[in-house]
Amino acid sequence: MEGASPSARAGRVSRRGLLGTLGGGAVGAVLGGVAVGLSRGSEAGAEAVSSAAPANAVVEFMGEHQAGIVTPAQDRMHVAAFDVTTSSLDELIGLMKDFSSAIGYMTRGLPIGGSAGAGGDDLLAPPEDTGEAVGLTAGHLTVTVGFGRSLFVDADGKDRFGLKAKLPEGLIELPHFPGDQLEEARSGGDLVVQACADDPQVAVHAIRNLSRIAFGRASVRWSQIGFGRTASTSKAQATPRNLFGFKDGTANVKAEDTSVVDEHVWISGLEGESAWANGGSFMVARRIRMTIETWDRQNLGEQQLVVGRTKASGAPLSGGEEFTEPDFAKKGANGPLIDTNSHVALSHPTRHGGAQMLRRGYNYTDGTDGLGRLDAGLFFIAFVVDPRTHYVPIQNLISKQDLMQEYVRHTGSGLFVIPPGVNEAGGYLGKRLLEG
């Protein structure tokens, strides 16, 4: 599914190559976009644009599943949630077609619409692409799109677009968890767009342009920039560290374990009206502020007790090295070596009927809070097959008992269903929901 197409791998995307790779199925809208872009741009412009798409930084947009889930986690993220402002299903369909078309270009490192990007000949219209990514590589950009419950039914239960019957049962209203201090302006949303890339400018460019494209049909409700990954999603990746200074992602679901991914990440087996969601996933997003200053005053022993692993190597406190399975039964002089209320003990699959999640979070900082404290933390993202079994019970237990709770505060929240990928000619993100 992922990986560069042969034409992209060659480092230059010819016009025919572009039509082949995008038009091979990404959408009529993409083909239309290409045609428009080429008719507007000069030959020389198109060539210049094409040569700016080195293949080794391209993650394929098209596929059975959307990219940006099992894709090796890139270092930078910009996520935005949108409120859909139109009440027209046709306009919503148009928006998803336009998003899919633009994503097709941007993930290849090309200016939207095949336009000249930062410039061109038309002085009387705004450029089709804002231009700040021209000259940069595709940066392994992935753009993952999802739908919130409020797209299906509004707060009064009204069927906004005739989609209510297609609402997957798993797309619940998340319950209030103990200690939640959620801010309305950082929570919810009808649509979510997760842009991840190696380069922050590439990720921000994607969200900026999609927001611009959405104008008149959807507006940004909240957005969050993350500056460093806090998870590995591939065995080839080194485990990064979160802002507590601990390795994060050691026991994460990894892309190579395809049977685990199939069981715990991809939606399958849905029948009837919600069958459109098969091949998709659910995305849980939580903005978790970390009280860094308090944490930094704790001694190393306390920090390790809270996590249940050593700070240096990430090994479980029961012994071994980073990837050794924790032994929760192993006792020392003062009881279990891994505290029963440590983060690892409470979130481990053995406490939750084997449920696992693919974590794909990011460190964030949004400056200081006016009291001299860093507004920083972890933008937690997890992809799961069903939040009712794979997120809610875990969050409930953590929120009630986790020693880590003393150092964190949940300030934002969202739950979205991620539709499957685009893998057919004339397809676009969400087509099976919106037209099926």
In the complex with ligand L6N33NVT, the residue whose CB is nearer, 150 or 318, is 318
One-letter amino acid for residue 357 of the chain: M
Binding interface with ligand L6N33NVT (CB under 6 A): 242, 244, 246-252, 286, 288, 290, 307, 309, 343-344, 347-349, 357, 377-378, 380, 391, 394-395, 398, 408
- Give residues with Cβ within 8 angstroms of 138, minimum separation 6: 53, 54, 57, 58, 59, 106, 107, 108, 109, 197, 202
In angstroms, give the least distance from the CB of 408 to ligand L6N33NVT.
Answer: 5
In angstroms, give the least distance from the CB of 432 to ligand L6N33NVT.
Answer: 29
DSSP letters, 255-282, are TT-HHHHHHHTS-----GGGGGGTT-EE
What does the alpha-carbon distance between residue 358 and residue 264 come to, in Å, rounded to a whole number?
A: 8
Query: Phi and psi dihedrals of 337, rounded to 5?
Result: -65, -35
What does the alpha-carbon distance between residue 210 and residue 235 come to, in Å, rounded to a whole number?
A: 32
In angstroms, give the least distance from the CB of 64 to ligand L6N33NVT.
Answer: 26
- Other C-beta atoms closer than 10 Å to the C-beta of 410 total 22
In angstroms, give the least distance from the CB of 47 to ligand L6N33NVT.
Answer: 46
In angstroms, give the least distance from the CB of 76 to ligand L6N33NVT.
Answer: 19
In the complex with ligand L6N33NVT, the residue whose CB is nearer, 115 or 250, is 250
In the complex with ligand L6N33NVT, the residue whose CB is nearer, 190 or 248, is 248
In the complex with ligand L6N33NVT, the residue whose CB is nearer, 354 or 436, is 354
In the complex with ligand L6N33NVT, the residue whose CB is nearer, 140 or 343, is 343
In the complex with ligand L6N33NVT, the residue whose CB is nearer, 162 or 320, is 320
In angstroms, give the least distance from the CB of 239 to ligand L6N33NVT.
Answer: 7
Instruction: Give the three-state DSSP class for 363.
Output: strand
Which residues are registered as beta bridge partners of 289?
Answer: 377, 409
Pull the structure tokens for residue 414.
């969202």
Pull the structure tokens for residue 341.
């209320």
In the complex with ligand L6N33NVT, the residue whose CB is nearer, 208 or 247, is 247
- Other C-beta atoms closer than 10 Å to the C-beta of 308 total 27
In the complex with ligand L6N33NVT, the residue whose CB is nearer, 64 or 256, is 256
In angstroms, give the least distance from the CB of 347 to ligand L6N33NVT.
Answer: 4
Residue 384's nearest CA partner among 271, 262, 296 is: 262
Burial of 121 (0-12, 13-18, 19+ CB in 10 A): exposed
In the complex with ligand L6N33NVT, the residue whose CB is nearer, 113 or 377, is 377
Q: Are 330 and 283 in contact (CB under 8 A)?
A: no
Cα 275 from chain centroid (whole Å): 22
User: Would you mind telling me the total number of residues written for the chain in this entry?
Assistant: 436
- Other C-beta atoms closer than 10 Å to the C-beta of 295 total 18
In angstroms, give the least distance from the CB of 397 to ligand L6N33NVT.
Answer: 8
In angstroms, give the least distance from the CB of 410 to ligand L6N33NVT.
Answer: 8
